[in-house]
Amino acid sequence: MERKTAITTSPGLSVTRLVLIRVRILAEWLVKRTLDFGHRRKALKSTRLLKNSQADNSCIVIANGPSSEKLDWKEVGRRQQLGLQVCAINYFPLAPHFKTLVPNYLVLSDPIMKPGSSKDSRNGPLWNAIQEASEMKLVFPISWYQLIESDSSLLSRSYFFDDSGLEGWTRNISPLRARGYLALTAYKALAFAVHLGFIEIDIIGIDNTMYQTMEVNFNNEIVQAPNHFFTGGGITVGLSPMYPNGVADYFQDVSLCFYSLKSCFSNRNIYNLDRTSLVDCFVKRDVSPLLIENMDLGRQ
């Protein structure tokens, strides 16, 4: 029943199953809201003060999809020195580009990335890199607040967001309230950037092309290989336990990824740097000096 009522499980033509999914979303929101009650206001205070604080600057949100390979990293770094704000996600500190480009903001939300977690061998190197990049601001779910609170040096550069979900009940993207979009870290980073009020927000690496490395083996098990712009961005995993209806559920999940962007983030000052992207709800840049293919044009 747990998987049958998950948001990524296709309800098919069953109204009953759709209702159960909606009820479960509401119930999980109530549980999370209760668990965060004691520290919610304190955790969100600094984020609330950030609203529209970057109205004079532009931003690029760099996700980990393969299209991020198209970036001219030196040019991004040069423009960062001139005021461009850079927001990255997840294991970006393990990418080779992190040696020359430290983001202004790093957004984490996957539970396996919590400080001290031993569920992924990449977690130790990730947090070592985070500790060394002391100028980088950090963005976490409010459920992590009590873990971060005891480390004053970490807390002083950390911001928190409401990571509860009310998908289907709201289209909210404010990090101060329950989100109406699917729980992808890249989307949370995009929502945080919108909250800061940038003049323009460029995106790259939000590809939603994970299906390109999905396979179904001889035993009809779904296996997902990494599909990132750098080695170490992901690991090969078996996904069948997540999708009781198999491939139908898998593509239900993919469909919701696109739907979340269109229903919650469209009609904003967000521009897609990937001209061949499948994401169709943002204006695509004809040219950009931030891309390798246009770098000469941008330096004239």
User: Over the stretch 191-200, which tens digit does the pLDDT of each residue have?
Assistant: 999 999 999 9
- 65 lies in some domain: yes
In angstroms, the CA 37 to CA 60 distance is 33
The reported pLDDT for the residue numbered 92 is 97
The mean pLDDT of 158-181, rounded to a whole number, is 97
Task: Please indicate, yes or no, if residue 9 is contained in any of the structural domains.
Answer: no
What does the pLDDT look like over 195-227, one tens digit per residue?
A: 999 999 999 999 999 999 999 999 999 999 999
Is residue 41 included in any domain, yes or no? yes
Q: What is the pLDDT of residue 10?
A: 87
pLDDT class of 298 with cuts at 50, 70, 90: very low
How confident is the model over 129-148, as a mean pLDDT? 96
- 129 Cβ contact list (under 8 Å, min separation 6): 93, 94, 98
- What's the whole-number mean pLDDT along residues 92-114? 95
Does the pLDDT of residue 2 top 80, yes or no? no
* Residue at 10 is within a domain: no
Q: Say whether pLDDT at 116 is over 90.
A: no
Nearest to 65 by CA among 281, 279, 280, 290: 279
pTM: 0.94
What integer pLDDT is reported at residue 87 of this predicted model?
98
CA pair distance 99, 220, nearest whole angstrom: 41
pLDDT in tens, 53-71: 999 999 999 999 999 999 9
Residue 7 lies in a domain: no
The residue whose two tokens read 């997540």 is 242
**pLDDT-based confidence at residue 1 (cuts at 50, 70, 90):** low
Q: Is residue 255 predicted with pLDDT exceeding 60?
A: yes
Per-residue confidence band for 3, with pLDDT thresholds at 50, 70 and 90: confident
Going across the sheet that includes 237-238, the strands are 214-216, 222-224, 237-238
Domain range for 270: 15-298
297 pLDDT tier (thresholds 50, 70, 90):
very low
Residue 214 lies in a domain: yes
Max CA pair span of the chain: 60
Mean pLDDT computed over 23-41 = 95
pLDDT of residue 4: 77
Q: Is the pLDDT of residue 232 over 90?
A: no
Provide the number of structural domains found in the chain: 1
Please choose, from the candidates 19, 246, 119, the residue with its C-alpha nearest in 3D space to the C-alpha of residue 11: 19
Across the chain, what does the average pLDDT equal?
93
* Domain-embedded: residue 5: no
pLDDT for 296: 46
Residue 30: pLDDT band (50, 70, 90) is: very high
Residue 2 included in any domain:
no
